[in-house]
Structure 1
């Protein structure tokens, strides 16, 4: 086995069926034994057949799926593990059509599986601690070009960002990436995103957009690169790293998914951020997979909520 990754063949050898997948997930999510998802108790658990457990305190029958993104899914657990493997190893993500072919389910089910997995990728802002040191900040806009739309879908309000969804990204040099959709890229919204995710005293690097003015008022050291003036770096100051995140996001949308609605865009942004952070290619594939499994706990996405 490679020291940095495992192949699909090796993954199938490790987890060939649903039963080995169940044991693998239980060992990861319940390292000290079966844990009740309601009361978190472990001392009054009775083991039953087929991976079922009963909490005699809560009178709850549960499995490793309960309280996770796997709950009430008919897709076997080893197919879930393989889907997670594909998501963390494919740099630009995987489409629902391709996943349906890979694991032998319908495209509709594959789309639901992927949206649940993207739900696991998300979490409270700053869940890994605030960014610090040198932090690059930038926004991008996601949406179709006016010229490519059907006549009845054209907004006819101008070019540029009109009709597109704004996304702000913050990337620490040599560290984590935080990205999220925002309603508008005005000064208040941009400043609040930075205050919520960047430690006071850090150096914030942005472009010349007016929304970033005032950041150097005692809280941060603010460095600016003037893109309109043809400047893309000045010494250590640049926004090249965060712009590479946008390249990755847009290549995934254009080349893999082809179209992403504003309604679901947040989950796709979370997926890219997760792959850059916990799914860093510098980590072993199994380490990345373990991080993904850890993220599934406590997450639940019903189909009704997804399409509401």
Structure 2
């Protein structure tokens, strides 16, 4: 038996029903006891039946679901935990059709569950440092393969595709997300937000990376067929894009520009907190930690 993973059989033994899942989630999200999600008070809390609590300070009733991605969901909590386990252990993700079969809910509900889980995968605010590889890629179908009525007829290459900017700390974390356009302004804004000043940045020879005075900047000349020079390369972030694209094509088949950001967050999370080098329960705990303070309604998702 592996010391770094647990099987589905072991997971079912740990969380056989909703009650065991509730106790686990309460212990993880409320390490110091129940805390009101409305007034943030941890005092004057009265336990009621079936996991309900009453805050005597603001007179609100709440459960461990309140103020999390689980709020107002009819899916039992132990099924949520199994869904998190499947999403974090699947290298390229799991489709809503497959999840529906695994946990016994409709495909529509499974689609909503997966998007809620992706909402919990959003990037942390810790800045990357050291050597950072940065590159961009484009997600979307080829113009020549589109129906005639959907062709933009505005050129080739990135036309009709969504740009994704990725940053990978050498031997460390990944930050990635969609951008409206790949310009010097958007690149500099993203780097300022996610990269520690003084870090070394490796990119290709695109002109959008030319003006980065706060960083040591090295570039490989892809135009001349150069992909590695000493330790200067963008192969690390390009491998992230390879996994992302293979997952989108092979598992999800299609991701609309509207929802693509959450899919990118899912893949980045799996490479960071969901890294296979970490024990399965550690990965699951990181997932649970990300569920707090996030809410995604079905109406907000489809609008």
- 1:62 — aligned with what? 62
Distance in 2 between the 1:79 and 1:137 partners? Answer: 37
Query: Moved runs in structure 1, 4+ residues, more than 4 A?
Result: none
Instruction: Give the secondary-structure state (helix, strand or coil) at the position aligned to 1:275.
Output: helix
- 1:120 — aligned with what? 120
2:261 to 259, 266, 278: 266
Distance in 2 between the 1:200 and 1:22 partners? Answer: 42
Instruction: Give the secondary-structure state (helix, strand or coil) at the position aligned to 1:167.
Output: strand
Q: Decide which moves more: 286-295 or 24-33.
A: 24-33
Structure 1 position 41, deviation (Å) = 1.5
The alignment status of 1:278 with 2:286, answered yes or no, reads: no
Report the aligned-residue RMSD: 0.9
User: Aligned residue pairs: how many?
Assistant: 303
Instruction: Give the secondary-structure state (helix, strand or coil) at the position aligned to 1:33.
Output: coil
- 1:85 — aligned with what? 85
Structure 1 position 228, deviation (Å) = 1.6
Distance in 2 between the 1:211 and 1:173 partners? Answer: 21
Q: Give the alignment of 1:36-75 within 5 angstroms.
A: 36-75=36-75
Distance in 1 between the 2:30 and 2:191 partners? Answer: 36
Instruction: Give the secondary-structure state (helix, strand or coil) at the position aligned to 2:224.
Output: coil
- 1:289 — aligned with what? 284
Structure 1 position 152, deviation (Å) = 1.0
- 1:185 — aligned with what? 182
- 1:238 — aligned with what? 233
Structure 1 position 186, deviation (Å) = 1.1
CA offsets 1:256-307 (integer angstroms, 9 cap, x no match): 0000000000000111111111111110000000000000000000111111
Structure 1 position 122, deviation (Å) = 1.0
The alignment status of 1:156 with 2:169, answered yes or no, reads: no
- 1:147 — aligned with what? 144
Distance in 2 between the 1:160 and 1:227 partners? Answer: 16
Distance in 2 between the 1:172 and 1:42 partners? Answer: 38
Instruction: Give the secondary-structure state (helix, strand or coil) at the position aligned to 2:120.
Output: helix
Q: Decide which moves more: 73-82 or 193-202.
A: 193-202
Structure 1 position 237, deviation (Å) = 0.2
* TM-score normalized with structure 1 length: 0.97
Long gaps (5+) in structure 1: none
Instruction: Give the secondary-structure state (helix, strand or coil) at the position aligned to 2:177.
Output: strand
Distance in 1 between the 2:299 and 2:75 partners? Answer: 18
Structure 1 position 53, deviation (Å) = 0.6
The alignment status of 1:165 with 2:162, answered yes or no, reads: yes
